[in-house]
Structure 1
Amino acid sequence: MKIIELHKIFLDYPNICTDTRKIKKNDIFFALKGDNFNGNKYADEALNKGASFAIIDEKKFYGDQKILVKDVLSTLQELAKFHRKFSKAKVIGLTGSNGKTTTKELINAVLSQKYKTIATSGNLNNHIGVPLTLLSIKKDTEIAIVEMGANHQKEIDFLSKLTEPDFGYITNFGKAHLEGFGGVDGVIKGKSELYDYLISEDKGVFMNADDSIQQKKLKGYIKKYGFSTSNPKFYQIKLVSANPFVVAEAEQTKIYSNLIGDYNFTNCCAAILIGKYFNVTLQKIKSGIEGYTPSNNRSQIIKKNGNHIILDAYNANPTSMSAAILNFAKMKSENKVLFLGDMFELGDSAKDEHQEIALLARKLDFEKVYLIGKNFNEIESNYLIFESFDDLKTHLLKNKTITNSSIFIKGSRGMALERILELL
């Protein structure tokens, strides 16, 4: 079946599902494959649960209401690309090492004050998530904000060509996925693939004009729109405070966010700048940002048993971990406690990067620090180190001594450090 014909079916049944546990009536089921599963085997189950059609790529599973294609994943991607061209929505592409999802949510919060918008759900930002986001564009969608993630070269290039964004923004270039990218230079090269695409297509670029890497990359490019804390050539935004919540000021208007830490300032700036570009009034920009509350273990503030807890356990890399620790050190509070979990995908740099984090905590005079994970277990430190979460759990249950404290929790997603909340 040609993509144009499949797209006609999609317009009649515009909801895509790849998981039979989440099937709803009239969904189109795409039978994706993985290392440990074969979606073709679940096509009948999807249809029995109410799916309108099942897209499969193995002939032995063919039958009524099933559409046989050469490859289900590539068909999903081609359909998404076709739908993106079919849609009249403007598309903003977004990538970076840190803050992608928060920035995406802020941009959506701002633009939705004036426009019909859609945005990537959660962090579904890979070769499957991006097509699903594009396919969520409705007839009345005016702007789509598409988050793109990557852990190796050419991935952002592929997603950019799939998405064909009209505008793009890179949050930053940090020490994330060093193993896949081959070091910091590889991260810069890989993330810059979004700007490379936009420049080659003569599209609009949003930038942090205070970021020297972005300055160099976009030097001489005309269609760039930036924010800065000091450069008068770009839109001026000032950091008023971050103790703990970020307060920004633009055009003598203070914007009070629900985001913790000065490292979230540039995320707010991007949303303000993009809102201004799309002619959202400053008062509506303010309403959008002030109305956004982070969730899903991202800089959440929790009060429990006399403790004031900052839970930032969604993910971590050396750049975001360092920034968060520095910010926590600046906060005015007593009895500070750090729970820091392993950072993943650092390759040969893992031991050195974890050692640096421990040294930073010591340099900032943190006394009560708990380091959790196999990577931290490899370093030298006077802090308490636990090879596993279970080891930490045993210790905390035996030594319930953390009360009336300010606690910061951060680690990579696989560490699931939100479980610490149950132990406090």
Structure 2
Amino acid sequence: MYPCTVSELTEHLDGRRHAWGSLHPFEAGAAPDQRQIERVVTESGRVVPGSLFVALRGRNRHGVEFAGEAAARGAVAILTDQLPTRSVAPESTAAGPPLILVPHALTGLQQLAVRNRNHSAASVIGITGSVGKTTTRQMIYCVLSQQRSSLQSPANFNNEIGLPLALLELSEQHRYAVLELGAGRPGDIRFLCRLARPDWAVVTRVAPCHLESFGSLQAIRLTKQELVEEIPASGCVFLCADQPEVAGMSRATSAQVEYFGLQAEGVGRCQMVSFDQGRSRIRCGTDEFVYEGGRQLLLCAAAAVTVGRRAGLSAGQIAAGLQQFRPDRGRGRLLRAGDWQILDETYNCSPESAVACLKSLSEWNAVRRILVLGDMLELGESERELHCDVAATLVNSAVDLAIFCGRLSSICVTAATASGYADDRLHAVADNQQLQCLLSELLQPGDLICLKGSRGLQLEQTVNWLLRQAAERGGQVIP
């Protein structure tokens, strides 16, 4: 974060500084508070000495209720749009940090993020898409970090709260900032662009995710295109060539456009070369690269290679960056649990990512390939049709056993059977408890178990159960 004192913060936000425990602001002419703000947090438990605690209004409680904890942990100030109804720490009112009162704490957080962004000369790379945002962001970060100091979004900080927090981590040392931009409704990405002012844009794929809030695939496409439209003419846009809905976004920008993917031309063209022991070898242009993960991550790697080349990195630097990448838990990481392999894809699931996962399983070496597919949520009125479409692809896959988990599991079994997949290789369970009971009966040495589903199903509980089962049996566990 660039230097900012408590008084500078108050002036920038046109706020009113209150003494700890006081309902009355300091009078005009009061001595300025020159203490430096070293970081900004919105969770009191993450406060360390020098932090600004932003007390946001939550669904059930207001963050100002946790001001006492923030003060005890060393906050230098508390930004809030509501003063506590009583002293949050009546025993130590003289020693507590000031409260900066503003009309809307979230707006204040965003304004502070814009201030920090305006101080930075870093090139900001915005990444959006229905699938693959986080993995693409991580791969690009690993690549660019080989050349210059870079920043990436912490976790998946990609909304109106998370993106400002990411921008507030920018400092003078950074030359690149690789940031995710998510959306739950039209206009979200354009708003985030006004905060981050990205120089480059990367669009992965457009897929039927969050249909309940968007209403149609076209609305999703137009929302993702908002990022492309916000890139200045001096910038660059990177588009997936394999999907016309994404490639066609080139018409929405005056910036330079580069393509990546299986159908791209030139240096952005990529293809699978081989897969062995959880690692993929791909060819982009005339160079080959290796990354941890399966075929479903190929386009993410292709985007990272194309961005790296645009940034002037050598093939050796790009290769070294991709070698450092490791998938997060829940996003394609391979776990070893005794004589089982566990492919952890539990963080999220959409129809497109589910089919990609199915196709990639054929390349894994295992005695049996077992797929656990949880419900895909937020698909609106199309949920049954989309679930059936995914289930019908099983017949052309290398999956030996398929277990559907959730409210729609029975209709998935019916659809898979109707497509020609053997019914004695299909199972339907309602939840994690039933799933674990079934797996305890089915699993054999040498099995690969791939678990994929929407976050609401919490299939990571079963991943953790599998790891415990292996450990209890004396097997080596490599998480």
Q: Same fold (TM over 0.5)?
A: yes
Larger of the two Rg values belongs to structure = 2
> Is the CA contact (8 Å cut-off) linking 1:117 and 1:143 kept in structure 2?
yes
Q: Residue 393 of structure 1: SS of its match in structure 2?
A: helix
Which moves more between the two structures, 264-273 or 382-391? 382-391
Residue aligning to 1:2: 11
Which moves more between the two structures, 238-247 or 169-178? 238-247
Matched, 1:386 2:429: yes
Could you tell me which runs of 5 or more consecutive residues in structure 2 were left unpaired when the two chains were aligned. 1-9, 16-31, 88-92, 415-422, 470-479
Matched, 1:214 2:214: no
Could you tell me which runs of 5 or more consecutive residues in structure 1 were left unpaired when the two chains were aligned. none
Amino acid paired to 2:69: E
> Is the CA contact (8 Å cut-off) linking 1:198 and 1:204 kept in structure 2?
yes
Q: 2:454 aligns with which of 412, 418, 421?
A: 412
> Is the CA contact (8 Å cut-off) linking 1:181 and 1:190 kept in structure 2?
no
Which moves more between the two structures, 411-420 or 88-97? 411-420
Task: Output the CA distance in 2 between the equivalents of 1:10 and 1:255.
Answer: 50
Q: Residue 291 of structure 2: SS of its match in structure 1?
A: strand
| 1:236-264 alpha-carbon deviations (Å, 9 max, x no partner) | 4333134553212235332111122x221
In structure 2, the CA distance between the partners of 1:375 and 1:228, relative to structure 1 (3 Å rule), is: closer
Q: TM-score, normalised by structure 1?
A: 0.92
Residue aligning to 1:165: 198
Q: Residue 231 of structure 2: SS of its match in structure 1?
A: helix
Aligned alpha-carbon RMSD (Å): 2.4
| 1:107-144 alpha-carbon deviations (Å, 9 max, x no partner) | 11010111111100111111100000000001211111
Residue aligning to 1:112: 145
In structure 2, the CA distance between the partners of 1:249 and 1:389, relative to structure 1 (3 Å rule), is: same
Task: Output the CA distance in 2 between the equivalents of 1:204 and 1:44.
Answer: 46
In structure 2, the CA distance between the partners of 1:5 and 1:315, relative to structure 1 (3 Å rule), is: same
Matches within 5 A, 1:365-376: 366-376=399-409
Once the two structures are TM-superposed, the CA of residue 354 in structure 1 deviates from its matched residue by 1.6
Residue aligning to 2:70: 46
Once the two structures are TM-superposed, the CA of residue 379 in structure 1 deviates from its matched residue by 4.4
Matches within 5 A, 1:184-203: 184-198=217-231, 203=235
Q: 2:282 aligns with which of 248, 266, 277?
A: 248
Once the two structures are TM-superposed, the CA of residue 404 in structure 1 deviates from its matched residue by 2.0
Amino acid paired to 2:53: F
Matched, 1:306 2:330: no
Once the two structures are TM-superposed, the CA of residue 60 in structure 1 deviates from its matched residue by 4.3
Q: 2:444 aligns with which of 380, 399, 402?
A: 402
Task: Output the CA distance in 2 between the equivalents of 1:156 and 1:138.
Answer: 24
Task: Output the CA distance in 2 between the equivalents of 1:122 and 1:256.
Answer: 24
Task: Output the CA distance in 1 between the equivalents of 2:264 and 2:158.
Answer: 32
Task: Output the CA distance in 2 between the equivalents of 1:214 and 1:412.
Answer: 24
Residue aligning to 1:296: 329
Q: Residue 2 of structure 1: SS of its match in structure 2?
A: helix
Matched, 1:69 2:102: yes
In structure 2, the CA distance between the partners of 1:89 and 1:357, relative to structure 1 (3 Å rule), is: same
Task: Output the CA distance in 2 between the equivalents of 1:138 and 1:276.
Answer: 24
Q: Residue 316 of structure 1: SS of its match in structure 2?
A: coil
Amino acid paired to 1:205: V
Once the two structures are TM-superposed, the CA of residue 376 in structure 1 deviates from its matched residue by 2.3
> Is the CA contact (8 Å cut-off) linking 2:184 and 2:214 kept in structure 1?
yes
Amino acid paired to 2:451: I
Task: Output the CA distance in 2 between the equivalents of 1:371 and 1:22.
Answer: 38
Once the two structures are TM-superposed, the CA of residue 355 in structure 1 deviates from its matched residue by 1.7
Residue aligning to 1:257: 291
Q: Residue 279 of structure 1: SS of its match in structure 2?
A: coil
Matched, 1:27 2:51: yes
Once the two structures are TM-superposed, the CA of residue 385 in structure 1 deviates from its matched residue by 0.8
